Amino acid sequence: MSEGKVIYPQNFDIKLIIAAEIATEEAKSNISKALSKSQTVHSFVNVRSSGKGNYISYCYNIDIESKEHLERTYALLRTIPGLKFAL
């Protein structure tokens, strides 16, 4: 029976939901800075606006090396201005 352990390294897409009042280039710069600061290899995938236009979602492909790396990355992402969710 599997205990649900995650095997690292992992590569996956992360979606960051940011308030629409933050300019797209500023948001992308802030995301890239946070990912770089956490030493996370990343690449931009796409950007989409919400149905009502209140939020913009930014999708990045990231490489995570360990549970500690994942926790450090999410901690830095939480400092991004206008961030609502990181999925």
Residues 6 or more apart whose Cβ sits within 8 Å of residue 71 = none
Question: Binning pLDDT at 50, 70 and 90, where does residue 19 land?
Answer: very high
In terms of DSSP H, where are the helices of the chain?
24-37, 67-77
User: Sorting pLDDT into bands at 50, 70 and 90, what band is 4?
Assistant: confident
Q: What is the pLDDT of residue 2?
A: 55
Domains of the chain in sequence order:
10-86 (3.30.70.260)
Among 3, 4, 7, which residue's Cα sits nearest to residue 67? 7
Tens-place pLDDT, residues 24-70 = 999 999 999 999 999 999 999 999 999 999 999 999 999 999 999 99
Backbone angles phi, psi at 74, to 5 degrees: -65, -35
